[in-house]
Amino acid sequence: MALSDPGFLLLFAVIFAVWHLLGFLGAGRWRWLALLAANVAFYALGATPALWYSLAAATLAAWGLGLAMEASKSRALRRLALAAGLAVMLGFLIAFKYLGFFTGGLLEVGLAQPVGISFYTLQTVGYLIDVYRGRVRAQRHLGYFAASVSFFAILTSGPITRIEQLTAQLRDAAQRRSFDLDGASRGLVCFLFGLFEKRALADLLSSLCSIVASEPGMVLDTSLLIGCVLYSLNIYFDFAGYSNMALGLGRMLGIELEQNFRRPYFALTIRDFWSRWHLSLSHWLRDYVYIPLGGSRRGSARTLLNLLATFLVSGLWHGAGVCFLIWGGLHGLYQVAGRLTGPARERIWRRLGVSQQNPLLRLWKMAFTFALVTFAWLFFHVGTAGGDASTAFEIIRRIVTGFTLSPRAWLDGCALLELHPEEGIRLAALLAAAFGLDLLGRNSSPEDWVLARPALLRAVICWGLVAAVLLLGQEGQNFIYFAF
- Nearest to residue 340, comparing CAs of 350, 332, 328, 349? 332
Cβ atoms of residues 428 and 472 within 8 Å: no
Radius of gyration of the CA atoms of the chain, in A: 23
Side-chain half-sphere exposure of 232, counting CA atoms within 13 A: 19
- Which DSSP helix (H) or strand (E) runs through 338? helix 322-351
318 included as an active-site residue? yes
| Rounded CA separation 198/481 (Å) | 12
Cβ atoms < 10 Å from Cβ of 342: 12
Running DSSP on this structure, what letter comes out for residue 124? H
- Which DSSP helix (H) or strand (E) runs through 181? helix 181-195
| Rounded CA separation 103/331 (Å) | 26
Q: Is 432 exposed, middle or buried (0-12, 13-18, 19+ CB in 10 A)?
A: exposed
CB neighbour burial string for 62-99, b if at least 16 within 10 angstroms, e if fewer:
bbbbbbbbbeeeeeeebeebbebbbebbeebbbbbbbb
Which one-letter amino acid corresponds to residue 94? Answer: I
3-state SS, one letter per residue, for 75-114 = HHHHHHHHHHHHHHHHHHHHHHHHHHHHCCCCCCCCCCCC
CB neighbour burial string for 5-37, b if at least 16 within 10 angstroms, e if fewer:
eeebeebbeebbeebbebbeeeebeebbebbbe
- The angle formed by the CA atoms of residues 400, 406 and 410, to the nearest 5 degrees, is 75
Running DSSP on this structure, what letter comes out for residue 286? I
- The angle formed by the CA atoms of residues 93, 36 and 10, to the nearest 5 degrees, is 105
| Rounded CA separation 153/149 (Å) | 11
- Catalytic choice (141, 278, 283, 318): 318
Residues with catalytic function: 318
